[in-house]
Structure 1
Amino acid sequence: MNSNTTARKHVRRTALIAGLVAAVALPLGLTASAQATTGGTATGAAVQRTVSGTASDNVTRVADFYGAYIDAKSDPDHGGRLATELRKYYVQAGGLRELTAWENRNHADGVLRAQNVPGKWTVKDAGAAGHTKVNVTLTWGGGQTTKLVVGLDRNHKIIRIDGN
């Protein structure tokens, strides 16, 4: 494993831990903000990326969920339990029932709409009134994409995932 891969895994784990801390703190009425910064080089100059968001924003909530969920599903040792807990926290009970029904029909993960894990994801506001829908694009190894529409309730819980 090269140092870039090790650094990326460390950043993902740090962000996942920060997200889980926020998941515990927010229901208790505590406020939290998270920021992840990664370093790298491009033509000799340091490049920094910053990720930030707010818990009351649907795009941030969906991005947090998909980032943590994909990381959990990528961990063969501990990912299954964490992925289940993330689903319980971010997805409303009715949405969980729909996911289970979809998975039983399609024999694949209902959140990812696939049997494997994407390498990249993008989350954007769908421009819906009240910002209750968010677009998610999952990008797979060969550059293929899966486009999803995630519906949320007024409490920022996922109620529906539509797509492939």
Structure 2
Amino acid sequence: MKSNTTARKHLRRTALIAGVVAAVALPLGLNASAQASAPAPAKVSAVAPRSVSGTPGQAMTRVADFYGAYIDAKGDYEDPDATLATALRKHYLTPDFALRLAAWEEENGVDGVLRAQNVPARWTVTDNGAVGHGHEVIVTLTFGSGDTTQKIKLFVLLERYDHIVDIGTTSNR
């Protein structure tokens, strides 16, 4: 299990680094020269490859990035990265919400970002539209596998500057 989890963790980190490099290279016009020198990818199978896309500043992308990285940091049971999880909270949450969330966690004894003691096996992120001067995104976390799954739906509210100001189990609408 550790090798599978570690492999996923390394793959996601590699993809994150590649995304950052692409984000820097595209505006500089370096992408065309990189593509010209790169060999064509080999066909692996007849199944269409899956893809994930997003844009900077898009609320849904920002929440998906946060939850994906946070779950990776917390999810390696043999080697969780608490330092990364803390840094992600500092980067994505407003200071006020981080304090409220810490108090909620103390009272409830579970991770406030995940609303659970463990990490989900799967998650989906869905846009829920504008709310006042902010934006709401629905995060559905699926825990367990097979016949023993449990889903938790969280409503994540971002301020207009794309920082998370609330995570709750009811909509702000």
Compute the TM-score of the two structures, normalised by the length of structure 1. Answer: 0.76
Query: Using the alignment, how far apart are the partners of 1:132 and 1:16 within structure 2?
Result: 24
Give the aligned partner of residue 136 of structure 2.
Answer: 133
Deviations 1:27-86 (A, max 9, x none): xxx9xxxxxxxxx97xx6233111121121000000000000000001343511100000
Are 2:153 and 1:151 equivalent residues in the alignment? no
- The number of equivalent residue pairs is 146
Helix, strand or coil for the counterpart of 1:48?
coil
What runs of 5+ residues in structure 2 fail to find an aligned partner? 29-42
Helix, strand or coil for the counterpart of 1:138?
strand
User: Where do residues 26-105 of structure 1 align in structure 2 (5 Å cutoff)?
Assistant: 45-75=46-76, 76-105=78-107
Query: Using the alignment, how far apart are the partners of 1:8 and 1:144 within structure 2?
Result: 22
Aligned AA (1:157): H
Moved over 6 A (4+): 3-6
- RMSD of aligned Cα (Å): 3.0
Change (3 A) 1:16 1:72: farther
**Displacement of 1:5:** 6.6
Helix, strand or coil for the counterpart of 1:149?
strand
**Displacement of 1:17:** 4.0
User: Where do residues 105-116 of structure 1 align in structure 2 (5 Å cutoff)?
Assistant: 105-116=107-118
- Counting aligned pairs with the same residue, the percent is 57
Aligned AA (1:152): L
Q: Which structure shows the higher strand fraction?
A: 1
Query: Using the alignment, how far apart are the partners of 2:80 and 2:117 within structure 1?
Result: 18
Helix, strand or coil for the counterpart of 2:55?
coil
Q: Is the 1:125–1:131 Cα contact (8 Å) retained in structure 2?
A: no
Query: Using the alignment, how far apart are the partners of 1:112 and 1:145 within structure 2?
Result: 11
Give the aligned partner of residue 117 of structure 1.
Answer: 119
What runs of 5+ residues in structure 1 fail to find an aligned partner? 31-39
Aligned AA (1:12): R
